């Protein structure tokens, strides 16, 4: 399986879980000493985002669940978003039994990169993940030479939805792509008007964006909340439209 196909199917939550489990296993609360019990183990991670109706109230939430109660830690993790440090005043952390929640107030997330540094001294661990922007696509019809996907959720925060268009399971290459528009074969669909754009607007934006990159070989059309892609050169093509690392 190619690296692109593997990345296409992994969700943001699964990616974060793998990263956090690797970085934090045995680190939450320190290692066992003498007769002390082993440190809590991370069991699950959930990333989400939401807004409260204004540009100033956008949030990314990271929820951690451990296999036993953990001690509250007053120190906040060091966080960078799109290579910029997040001020402590924009981060809140709450611990409740075996659960911990980190809430980050954000403005806009360009590339979607989130980097967290947890712990102190020799126990510092660095975790990288993509911020969940909220946009979700669900395939509702697959036929030879075409595919139709429905936008099932809109942007929660101002950022980029990385839409991946595949033919035979691989991202379709495009010479127009550059570093600002491409991420691991996925195309940038911007959510500048995240407070106004609904699922219909997002579907139209996706169709327009894909047309601008692949319109010489494929046809794209938006109908309500759905986006349909058709191959102009191969009637038996197996096409796919999805979100790379959706939240």
**Which residues touch 192 (CB under 8 Å, ≥6 apart)?**
158
How confident is residue 200, by pLDDT bands cut at 50, 70 and 90?
very high
pLDDT at 110: 72
Q: Which three-class secondary structure state does DSSP give residue 14?
A: helix
- Position with higher pLDDT, 51 vs 9: 51
Centre a 10 Å sphere on the Cβ of residue 3 and count the other Cβ atoms it contains. Answer: 9
83 pLDDT exceeds 90?
A: no
pLDDT tens digits, residue range 98-124? 998 999 999 878 777 888 786 677 767
Fold of 3-130: Immunoglobulin-like (2.60.40)
CATH 2.60.40 range(s) for the chain read 3-130
What tokens were used for 12? 């943001």
How confident is residue 32, by pLDDT bands cut at 50, 70 and 90?
very low
**Which residues touch 146 (CB under 8 Å, ≥6 apart)?**
228, 229, 230, 231, 237, 239
Q: For residues 132-141, give the mean pLDDT.
A: 96
């Amino acid at each position: 399986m190619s690296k692109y196909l593997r990345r296409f199917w992994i969700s943001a939550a699964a990616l974060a879980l793998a990263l956090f489990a690797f970085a934090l296993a045995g680190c939450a609360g320190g290692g066992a000493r003498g007769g002390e019990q082993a440190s809590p183990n991370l069991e699950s991670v959930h990333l989400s985002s939401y807004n409260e109706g204004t540009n100033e109230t956008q949030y990314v939430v990271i929820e951690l669940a451990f296999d036993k109660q953990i001690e509250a830690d007053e120190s906040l993790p060091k966080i960078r978003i799109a290579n910029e440090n997040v001020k402590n005043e924009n981060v809140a952390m709450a611990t409740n039994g075996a659960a911990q929640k980190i809430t980050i107030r954000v403005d806009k997330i360009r590339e979607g990169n989130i980097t967290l540094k947890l712990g102190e001294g020799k126990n510092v661990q660095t975790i990288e993940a993509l911020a969940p922007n909220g946009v979700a696509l669900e395939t509702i019809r697959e036929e030879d030479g075409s595919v139709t996907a429905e936008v099932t959720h809109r942007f929660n925060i101002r950022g980029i939805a990385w839409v991946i268009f595949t033919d035979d399971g691989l991202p379709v290459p495009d010479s127009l792509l550059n570093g600002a528009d491409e991420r691991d074969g996925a195309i940038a669909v911007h959510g500048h008007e995240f407070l106004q754009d609904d699922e219909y607007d997002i579907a139209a934006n996706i169709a327009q964006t894909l047309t601008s990159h692949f319109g010489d070989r494929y046809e794209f059309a938006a109908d309500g909340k759905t986006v349909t892609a058709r191959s102009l050169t191969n009637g038996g093509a197996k096409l796919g439209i999805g979100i790379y690392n959706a939240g």
